[in-house]
Amino acid sequence: MAQKLIIDTDPGVDDAFALALAALGSDVELLGVTSVYGNVPLSATTINARRLLALCKRPDVPVAAGAARPLVHRHPNEAGYVHGADGLSGRSTTLPEPARPLDERDAVALMADLLAAADEPVTIAPIGPLTNIAALLAAHPAAAEKIERVVIMGGALGHGNSTAAAEFNVWSDPEAAHRVLTGGEAPCVLVPMDLTYRCAVDAAWLDELASSGPIGAALHALTPDYREHYRGALGWDGMVIHDAVAVAEAILPGTLHTERVPVQVECSFGPGRGATHADRRLPALRASGADPVPAAEVEVAVDTDLDALRGLLLDRLR
């Protein structure tokens, strides 16, 4: 049975790899894509998502636009410097024009409709700020019954990227992330940057992608600004395709090895804002501790077969 999937995204170069991974998968039923502000403003992430689906020849997949800003506080920053001014290294207009109009529904309405219509539970893969997902859970509590898993790229067990403490997606809207991760309405898998960094791809992998065919060549053409950023972030010539790691788990459950722990998000203002605190104490110690243990536990991805994952990504993007 094909994996029913909705992707919520802020393309974004690594989002482009993740969208292609899902759109090209014969074992994936990509029901819809929703856009959110994040790497670049909503207008840019929305047209990027539509163009990327046109690149993958998926006129059947609806795209609906979602939140243009976080739930409570203004967006602290955008990562244009990482993904380029248009979110795709300035190459968005080199992609095909959208093959279908933007859906007239907003992101939350599209997700709610797709969940209601599905005859099997649906996996949702948020790979940008979690604003749309928090809004969905708040506005449509019954929709959670049709959610199989929420597989999130976000968070950091160790240091962050946007700040010392916080990873970009969570840092963009900590309140939304806390709502999703502690609400307990739907099973969550959190794929933090600690693991996605370990899955970084190198120049040889990128060269192989570039020569693998038209889709690979097109994705490779979107990478210059992003690759330049990661040359500095990694200290060698490679890239971290964070979102593709999370979507690989969304479409192939069990690809990533997880630990089941409660996770809370720091929502105060200060150096720790946006930090994801995974409580990895043993349950007995957790229960005896002084702090209130949040109701929900989530699966936090902590390991995978790195070479097998890189090979899987390349094979599926060819």
Query: What residue ranges bind Ca ion (CB under 5 A)?
Result: 10, 12, 15, 127-128, 243
Residue type, 134: A
- CB 79 → Ca ion: shortest distance, Å? 9
φ, ψ of residue 302 in degrees (nearest 5): -120, -10
Structure tokens at 32: 């819809």
User: Applying CB under 6 A, which residues contact ligand RIB?
Assistant: 10, 12, 14-15, 38-39, 79, 127-128, 153, 161, 167-169, 193, 242-243
Burial class (CB in 10 A: 0-12, 13-18, 19+), 297: buried
Find which of ligand RIB, Ca ion, none residue 193 binds, CB within 5 to 8 Å per kind.
ligand RIB
CB of 214 to ligand RIB, least distance (A): 23
In angstroms, give the least distance from the CB of 19 to ligand RIB. 11
* Residue 83 appears among annotated catalytic residues: no
Active-site residue, selected from the candidate residues 83, 140, 242, 277? 242
- Shortest distance in whole angstroms from residue 289 CB to ligand RIB: 30
**Around 147, how many Cα atoms within 13 Å sit in the side-chain half-sphere?**
25
Choice between 64 and 166, CB closer to ligand RIB: 166
Place of tokens 């809370």: 264
**CA 17, CA 117: separation in Å to the nearest integer?**
28
Contact 123, 5 (CB under 8 A): yes
Question: Is the Cβ of residue 108 or residue 239 nearer to ligand RIB in the bound state?
Answer: 239
3-state secondary structure of 300: strand
47 binds, among ligand RIB, Ca ion, none (CB under 5 to 8 A by kind): none
Catalytic sites, residue numbers: 242
